[in-house]
Amino acid sequence: MSRSLIEIAKLSVDLISRPIEPSWIIEGRPEATCCILSQSADGLATTMVWHCTAGKFSWHYDFDETVLILDGSIVLESDGLPPTRYGAGDVIFFKDGAHARWHVEGHVKKLAFCRKTSPVWFGLALRVLLKLRKIVLPAAGRRPASLMAG
């Protein structure tokens, strides 16, 4: 399957049901929906729009997730983090292994970038390999950085 090197998406997309794990729901009947906007070739990184109606629930992260709240608000709490309200324009980063309690007030819509983490040694080995590749292989075919800014 051929994939374009540049993919374009809009935030106004059709969302499909993505139920919250029932055992995580604390209060209410929150209904979650989402749409995947992009996914890396290796499947380890995904960008999505996610929406949820009012309710309280726990969330357990088995990946890194950076969130930009687009609309609505939440009160977020976790061990060592007092209940804090976040709304449109706020950015939150959840590390792999984090646990948080979400209280969605009315509704929330977020843009999320999720990345499955790799062992530290793997990341270090990959960075060394990529650095060696830049040193050993010619830069033929790569455009100068000044031309890439447009």
Give residue-wise pLDDT tens across range 27-52. Answer: 999 999 999 999 988 888 999 999 99
CATH architecture type of domain 16-115:
Sandwich (2.60)
Domain extents for the chain?
Answer: 16-115
Give residue-wise pLDDT tens across range 98-110. Answer: 999 999 999 999 9
The residue to which tokens 């998406």 are assigned: 9
**Predicted TM-score of the model (pTM):** 0.75
Between 95 and 1, where is the model more confident? Answer: 95
End-to-end CA separation in angstroms for the chain: 28
Confidence at residue 1, expressed as pLDDT on a 0 to 100 scale: 42
For strand 64-78 and strand 99-115, is the pairing parallel, antiparallel, or unpaired?
antiparallel
Rg of the chain over CA atoms, in angstroms?
19
